[in-house]
Amino acid sequence: MDNYILVLNTCNSAEIASKIAETLVSKKLAACVNIVNGVESVYQWQEKIEHDKELLLIIKTRQSLFSQLEHEIQELHDYELPEIIAVPIEAGEKNYLNWIKSATNATEI
């Protein structure tokens, strides 16, 4: 059985978020990317507390494609250190998971 994952990524502009989402889906590295607007991130960076308005990408894919997906995000992203976090999908509706599998038929490493 395939291992399905959600990958989380934040962006500071709709343009970058859309570019990443379209690239991942067109290269079949992701079945779907949700772009969630209106996220406020609070974090520490270089000894300062930062507050930023961001967009959250929720990326549906397979574990076997993570390395390729991570590489694409790093190539397209404008952050020095982009958030790229994978969370396993423990369970899901069978037909939806099958759709993720069929929509992500990129060459696996």
105 — pLDDT class (breaks 50, 70, 90) = confident
Give the mean pLDDT of 75-92.
Answer: 96
- From residue 13, how far is each of 18, 46, 52 by CA, in Å? 9, 22, 11
Is the pLDDT reported for residue 80 higher than 70? yes
pLDDT at 5 > cutoff 80: yes
Per-residue pLDDT, 1: 52
Model pLDDT for residues 41-74, shown as the tens digit of each residue = 999 999 999 999 999 999 999 999 999 999 999 9
Show the domains of the chain with their CATH numbers: 4-103 (3.30.70.120)
